[in-house]
Amino acid sequence: MLEITLFYIAATIALAATVLAMTRANAIHALIYLIVSLLAVAVIFFLIGAPFAAALEIVIYAGAIMVLFVFVIMMLNLGEEGDARERGLLQPSIWAGPALLSFLLFAELLYMISTVEGPVSMQAVSAKEVGLALFGPYVLAVEIASMLLLAGLVGSYHLGRRYLEREE
């Protein structure tokens, strides 16, 4: 039963950290909560028998991608006044409508999930199996992912160049 207890704890942490991340005015604070949330999800991955995915989640998501965010936020040097404006935005009149929409979506998802039945047991999938499938039937997906990353690389290089600001 330990795993189940751990799962509920991780799930609670993930949800709480996400809610906090979404409501922070300060970007760095939000980012740290987000990292916590990602780590909690990594725990869930581990618990449901996907250790390889859990490792990737930590290394790439919580590590590389979030570090990128940190870099950019540091570069932009957002001041206290930006935080103040962000706080002002969190008024009920602003989030009431979106919250209703989100709730509707969640309710529908809930309804769909409630119909799911089946065995409660999970089966572990080792990194070896994943690797075999990845370079077997899914080799095309690997190619597509590599092209996507290349496109991302070129795109971010282009957008990051400084001369673009001289076009003004």
Partner 1 sequence: MEGLNIPLNHILLVSSLLFSIGMLGLMIRRNIIFILMSLEVMLNAAALAFVAAGAHWGQPDGQIIFMLILSIAAAEVAVGLGLVLQVQRRFKTLDMDSANRMRG
Partner 2 sequence: MAEMVWLVPLIPLLSSVMLMLCSANLPRLLIGLLGVGSVGAAALLTLSIGMDFLADPEPFQLTLWTWMQVSNFSPGIAFYFDGLTLVMMSVITGVGFLIHLFSTEFMEEDASYARYFAYLNMFVAAMLILVMADNLLLLYLGWEGVGVCSYLLVGFWYQNSANGQAARKAFVVTRIGDTAMALGLLLLFTELGTLDIQSMMAVANQQWQVGDTVPLIACLLLLGGAVGKSAQLPLHTWLPDAMAGPTPVSALIHAATMVTAGVYLIARTHDLFLLAPISMMVVALVGLATSLMAAFTALMQSDIKRILAYSTISQIGYMFLALGVGAWAAGIFHLMTHAFFKALLFLGSGAIIHYLHHEHDIFKMGGLRTKMPVTFWSFMIGSAALAALPMTSGFFSKDQILLQAYMMPGAGPWLWLGGLLGALLTAIYSFRLVFVVFFGEAKTEPDGDTGWRMAVPLVMLCGLAMIGGYFIIPVADVFPAVSGEHPAHWVEYVSISVPLIGLLLAYLIFHSRQINMDTLVNSSVGQLLRRFWFGGWGIDWLYDRVFVRPYYLLSGLMKNEPIDAIYGLIVAVNQTFNHWLAEAQTGQMRWYILSMVFGLIVLLTLALQIPLEAL
Residues that bind partner 2 (CB under 8 A): 97-98, 101-102, 104-105, 108, 111-112, 115
Distance (Å, rounded) from C-alpha 145 to C-alpha 147?
A: 5
Of 101 and 140, the one with the shorter C-beta distance to partner 2 is 101
Whichever of 47 and 80 has its CB closer to partner 1, that residue is 47
Q: Is 139 in the site for partner 1 (CB under 8 A)?
A: no
- Which residues does 28 contact at the CB level (< 8 Å), separation at least 6? 70, 73
Q: Which residues contact 43 (CB under 8 A, 6 or more apart)?
A: 6, 10, 54
CA distance 98 to 94: 8
69: contact with partner 1 by CB under 8 A: yes
Q: How far is the CB of 80 from partner 1 (least distance, A)?
A: 14
Per CB under 8 A, does 122 bind partner 1? yes
Nearer to partner 2 among residue 101 and residue 120 (C-beta):
101
- Measured CA to CA, the distance from residue 167 to residue 25 in angstroms comes to 32
Closest CB 88 distance from partner 1, rounded Å? 10
Residue 140 contact among partner 2, partner 1, none, beta carbon within 5 to 8 Å by kind = none
68, 74, 84, 87: which one binds partner 1 (CB under 8 A): 68
Distant-in-sequence, close-in-space partners of 51: CB < 8 Å, separation ≥ 6 = 45, 124, 126, 127
